[in-house]
Amino acid sequence: MTELISSFRKSSYSTSQGECVEVALVSTGGRVIRDSENPHGPLLHI
């Protein structure tokens, strides 16, 4: 099972108008990305 091993953090390229993505590390060595305006929505695993 994949687990988050870090908190989500916003991209340094995010704008102040809320058009943000957030990234976190996962236990499999990958990353997950989410839309900061929809934190409970789908995650993109890479």
- pLDDT tens for residues 7-43? 999 877 777 777 788 999 999 999 999 998 898 999 9
* pLDDT (0 to 100) of residue 46: 93
pLDDT confidence band for 1 (50 / 70 / 90): low
CB within 8 Å of 2: residues ≥ 6 apart: 26, 27, 28, 30, 45
| 2 pLDDT more than 90 | no
